[in-house]
Amino acid sequence: MFKRLWSKWSTLAAAAALLLALAVVSHVVFAQGEMIPASAALAYRGTLEQDGVPFEGTATVTLRLFATATMEDPLCETQSAVTVSAGRFSLELPDACTDVVRTRPDAWVVATVDAGDGPQLFPPQRLHAVPYAVSAANGVPIGGIVPSFLDPATDPLPPGFEVCDGTPITKGPLAGRNKPDLQGRFLRGVTDGEGVGTTGGADTATTSRESHTHRWGAFAVDASGITYLDAYLQNGTVRRLLENQWVAAGGDYRAFVHTGLPGFQPTVGDLYYTQPEEVGGEQGHAHTVDVRPAYTQVVFLCRVY
């Protein structure tokens, strides 16, 4: 008769997880693991003691998962002959049982061990530590969001994670709800009075001004050879600064744009602008500008089961 069965969920990948198991007489105990790779298969690992000594030999281990502690509504079952060395053994779970462990933390597991002297049934135990111990990204709870540089079109996503694209969740405890749509969006912490999932902001913003006149940096040369360093054109009239007041400049002036060509010489009677572009003088207008900071695009994944 076995007196102790120490057990835990683990993975088949070497050194994939560090797990702690509590020894309880005639009880199966599950412990949390950390940093389990997404590609690792799930295994049930245990330690058998017989009369206080680690068991050596072979045994048949049967695992059955149920929806209730009364062993009703079976969810999956697996059985395998295992080699027990220094009391330790490992039983790989089929995909059906792995899915149950990942998606049904409220399920119950019943272990039966037969080392040749008849099967020994251990009491049902709830999967309290699951799915944390078998999640592809421990530390990320259900509903958590993480950025990733994986390409959903070509790369497999970690188990339990889906793209945050606003589509319905089809399995797990959040089934029936919609994932947040984070395509082309930044994240922002929720504030008082606003619910989770509230959206806002925009990629661009439009700024506007009322009717006004643009005064460009310019200079003008009149018939007497005087150069006005402060000058601008208003309704076809050259204005110059005189005693801190803008007054009409004398002489015959015409607008002329200076493009900065080599060897440029100013001509008497011309007004030279320093900017070769047109704006709507004395008219209100608007500008649309991009308000996004510099960014690198990633895909947001949310854990849904």
Do residues 231 and 249 make contact, with C-beta atoms less than 8 angstroms apart? yes
Sheet holding 237-242, edge to edge: 231-234, 237-242, 245-248
pLDDT at residue 162 above 80? yes
Per residue in 166-217, pLDDT (tens digit) is 999 998 888 999 999 999 888 888 887 777 877 777 778 887 777 665 554 4
Which pair of tokens denotes residue 297? 């695009």
Burial readout 213-236 (b: 16 or more C-beta within 10 A, e: otherwise): eeeeebbbbbeeeeebeebbbeee
Q: Find how far residue 23's CA is from the centre of its chain.
A: 38
Please report the domains of the chain, with CATH numbers, ordered by start residue: 4-134 (2.60.40), 218-276 (no CATH)
Share of the chain above pLDDT 90, in %: 12
Give the confidence band of 291 by pLDDT, cuts at 50, 70, 90: confident
Q: Where are the beta strands (DSSP E) in 227-303?
A: 227-228, 231-234, 237-242, 245-248, 254-257, 270-273, 285-290, 299-303
- pLDDT reported for residue 231: 52
Per residue in 20-63, pLDDT (tens digit) is 222 222 233 333 333 334 434 577 777 888 777 888 888 899 98
- Partnered with residue 64 across adjacent β-strands are 77, 110
> What is residue 133's DSSP assignment?
G
Higher pLDDT among residues 22 and 243, named by residue: 243
- pLDDT reported for residue 234: 52
> What is residue 122's DSSP assignment?
P
List of residues 6+ apart from 226 with CB closer than 8 A: none
Instruction: Classify strands 237-242 and 145-148 as parallel, antiparallel or unpaired.
Output: unpaired
What are the backbone angles phi and psi of residue 98, rounded to the nearest 5°? Answer: -60, -40
- pLDDT reported for residue 220: 53
What are the backbone angles phi and psi of residue 24, rounded to the nearest 5°? Answer: -130, 130
Q: At 248, which amino acid appears? A: A
pLDDT at residue 246 above 60? no
Residue of 157, 101, 153 lying closest to 128 (CA atoms): 101
* Distance, CA of 87 to CA of 120 (rounded, Å): 16
pTM above 0.95, yes or no: no
Per residue in 63-109, pLDDT (tens digit) is 899 998 888 889 999 998 988 888 888 888 888 888 888 778 788 88
Give the confidence band of 221 by pLDDT, cuts at 50, 70, 90: low
Q: Which of 63-77, 218-232, 238-252 has the lowest mean pLDDT?
A: 238-252
Residue of 60, 111, 113, 115 lying closest to 82 (CA atoms): 60
- Partnered with residue 57 across adjacent β-strands are 84
Do residues 36 and 133 make contact, with C-beta atoms less than 8 angstroms apart? yes
- pLDDT reported for residue 257: 41
Query: Which residue reads 């045994």 in tokens?
Result: 59
* Distance, CA of 45 to CA of 123 (rounded, Å): 17
Which pair of tokens denotes residue 179? 């994932």
* Distance, CA of 215 to CA of 231 (rounded, Å): 8
* Vertex 290: Cα angle to 288 and 295 (nearest 5): 175
- pLDDT reported for residue 145: 93
137, 138, 142, 146: CA torsion to nearest 10: -50
* Distance, CA of 254 to CA of 272 (rounded, Å): 9
